[in-house]
Chain A
Amino acid sequence: MPDNRLGRRGFLTAGVAAGATAATAALDSAEAHTYQGKVPWAPHAADVPEPVRGNTYVFFTADEAAFVEAATERLIPKDDLGPGARDVGVPLFIDHQLDGAYGRAARWYMQGPWAKGTPTQGFQSRMNPAELYRAAIKAIDAHVKATQGGKNFAALTAGEQDRLLTDMEAGTLDLQGVDAKTFFGVLWQNTKEGMFSDPMYGGNKDMAAWTMLGYPGARYDYTDWVGKQGVRYTLPPVGIMGRPAWTPKS
């Protein structure tokens, strides 16, 4: 991602009354926001996405990673149809999301006062997603250690893990101040995101989840298929950065 785009996307946000980012001034002086007499265009100005770099955890501790690997694999398990969440990199995806703007809830309104609210009022946790994962996993593992003879969540059987996940989903698991239902909702949403989003973000490795569904990915032209009623699409999936088959085997 070219550095200058950081500046163009810089916003005044709650709690940061001034300053935006240093890069803003570098690209856009105040006058540069004024457009007159022409359609603006500049080279290298594309608002391109930023792919995950590397394949190691940058946010999770070893214990947190063990929980997320085990839990996401129960949410979308490997079976005869195709891979599960763990094998396609969902934990890596979540790790990198929590390390970034999403983890910090950078776009969310995060000012108090705080109240629980009704279910129709939505997310009201004062924890951002990164804090929520950290606190919830700690509480879950503490609960499991206390009740399951010193094991952590990842060491339980699949059936035991499923029961705990079900209790979290129902909100009946006491996580010492962390709302289990809120955490489960975020974990499930992030699991689906990592499973089925573009592989550039660390999940959906080799587009295996798309292949399993029959989803052709980031294609932008189906003109030749519009008139083919009821005929299965034949081309394999493609991602924003290409296809694994295009990468020479080393």
Chain B
Amino acid sequence: MAQKRPSVDALMIGFGWTGAIICQELTDAGLNVLALERGNWRDTPTDFSPAFIQDELRYRYRDHLFEEPARDTVTFRNNRDETALPMRELGSFLPGTGVGGSGIHWNGQVFRFLPYDFQIRTQTIARYGAQAIPNDMPLQDWGVTYQDLEPYYNTFEYIAGISGQAGNLNGQKTAGGNPFEGPRSKPYPNPPMTQTLGPLLFAKAAQEVGAHPFPCPSANMSRAYTNPLGVQMAPCTYCGFCEKYACGNYSKASAQTTIIPVLMRKDNFTLKTQAEVTKINLDSTGKRAVSVTYVDAQGNEYEQPAELIVLGAFITHNVHLLLSSGIGTPYDPSTGKGTLGKNYAYQLTPGVDVFMPEDKILNPFVGAGALGVIVDDWNGDNFDHTGLGFLHGGYIAAYMTNGRPIETELVPEGTPKWGAKWKQAFVKNYLTSMSLGLMEAVLPNRENYLDLDPTYRDAYGRRLMRMTFDFRQNELKMQDFQMGKMTQLAQAMKPREIKQNKRGPHYDIVPYQSTHNTGGAIMGANPADSVVNRYLQHWDVSNLFVVGASAFPHNSGYNPTDTVGALTYWAADAIRKQYLKSPGPLVQA
């Protein structure tokens, strides 16, 4: 029997980036806010210290900061004809657990989505006609526009201290930035990072082929910075331990380094850790969330009532919690009806390895998660897709994120996978090789979706969530096109040789690709095709907001965090300015 706790004004499920933002905003509005986090308290001096964080085995290969499949995982299959099996160990994506969530072990590559993304259906039809959208692609506008979100992108970028060069400031193109980006009303709060030899060689090559290189907008600090909340961050030391690691140097934006030091000191905020929410409970009408059920580390069960509930776990858990709580209508791919679980998407990440001559010492270990140069010429609708057979695109990057030796796998084409020849090739090329990578959009497909697994269960006895996902024709055709562009760029760097690494044709859950899972509880203008409205408020349950990348109707050719941050500030603002004054649906269905 669950012990009932006293009610709170607002309850936050999950305490990563979105949790910290929502709690900061709602406590500022005067609400009494409780956050429930399934993992542990974690902070820089105790848990991420530079005395021990540079540990490839413990963090990358023993998953120290990541979630445990033993406790909760997904089942996976490529298509509906297969039987889904559990993801028994982590691989393709690495969700976090604990305070700060996945946002403590990111690289810090920070991109706004394009204006095109938010109105992708409308703009695609306007430029190419309705027949350009395949029948099996439920491509949807988001219900918000870039102009709506622009101020909230600013808010997130200033909280996080992003280093970068604007390419379009109030409509004025500025040299050195991304000429394809949507207009921004303010410059980045910090200048770009200092590039090392590898990205500089790429920038030169990109200019030679007529592309428009710019420094990656970075959540690794290019200088000391104090954010609008008064929280201070330190200059990045280029130690090369960002993605899959936490920063010990207060140099990478995360909930811990930007918001939590202020939020934790507020009297109207409470955090409970080791509190896993297992269900959101509705009243008898099914229109109002009254409480959540959570379980502590000892297995004790509690019921926590709240007036307002915000769900901000990792995207797979947002969707899983809605499915297992029976909130919304599960999507059925055979009919196309239902919305919960639909438009699950990911990212396609092929690359080209570049092996430079022996005198080009690249020192790959002098790196940072977002140290690199980007080309956006073949992203979004920045180029004419007529006759190409696919929509959207992706950015091409020359990152120098790290030289971590277990993870580094740069050996030329034809090298044996182990033994003396592998060793010779690995040692010979270690200091002089790098990779170009593509961050390719994945557009929705009718057959890519999330639902509940009929067989496997988690540690709490709930059915696991089942992921049915594969790369479809749009992604594979786009990959072929982009491999040509990447190869051309790689060759322009005047390498000794290159090696092409395509993905697919089938999505494989084993090798790490990215933690850019999106969709399943998508936003939109209409309850017939979305789970939450333009303010991320649940269409059916108006005192429930669902924030995070689960709201993306498609995945763009960029990393998701900037857009997650902007949407979260957008939703928080709607709660503060509209919902709290008059609780109820903010958009009439």
Contact = CB atoms under 8 A, between A and B. Distances in A.
A174 interface: no
Nearest to A113: B455
A58 interface: no
B508 A119 contact: yes
Residue in B196, B275, B297, B299 whose Cβ sees the most chain A Cβ within 10 Å: B297
A240 B55 CA distance: 8
Interface string B19-30: 000000000000
A214 B428 CA distance: 10
B51 A120 contact: no
Contacts of B272: 33-35
Contacts of A149: none
A210 B405 contact: yes
Contacts of B238: 221-223, 225-226
A38 B263 CA distance: 9
A102 B359 CA distance: 41
A108 interface: yes
A245 interface: no
Contacts of B85: 115, 117, 121, 124
B456 A111 contact: yes
Nearest to B54: A218
Q: How large is the interface on B (under 10, 10 to 19, 20 to 34, 35 or more residues)?
A: 35 or more
A169 interface: yes
Residue in B237, B261, B420 whose Cβ sees the most chain A Cβ within 10 Å: B420
A106 B64 CA distance: 12
A18 interface: yes
A198 interface: yes
Contacts, number: 259
Contacts of A226: 194, 196, 238, 366
B200 interface: yes
Nearest to A18: B299
Contact of A209 (B51, B365, B405): B405
Given A24-B298, A77-B420, A232-B431, A122 B269 contact: no
B580 to A, nearest CB: 22
Nearest to A187: B418
A11 to B, nearest CB: 6
B497 interface: no
A53 interface: no
Contacts of A26: none
Residue in A15, A40, A108, A188 whose Cβ sees the most chain B Cβ within 10 Å: A108
Given A35-B41, A39-B265, A76 B87 contact: no
Given A11-B71, A232-B363, A193 B457 contact: no
Interface in B399-424: 403, 405-406, 417-420, 422-424
B82 interface: yes
Interface in A43-71: 45-49
B422 to A, nearest CB: 8
Nearest to A217: B54
Give 9 closest A-B pairs by Cβ, nearest first. Answer: A18-B299, A197-B57, A218-B54, A196-B405, A221-B237, A109-B69, A220-B50, A120-B508, A229-B197
16 contacts: A12-B459, A18-B299, A35-B41, A37-B267, A39-B43, A82-B427, A115-B85, A120-B509, A198-B56, A210-B405, A212-B427, A213-B405, A218-B54, A220-B239, A225-B363, A233-B363
Interface of A: 8-15, 17-20, 24-25, 28, 30, 33-42, 45-49, 74-77, 79, 81-82, 101-102, 105-111, 113, 115, 117-124, 162, 165, 169, 188-189, 191-193, 195-198, 201, 209-210, 212-223, 225-227, 229-233, 240
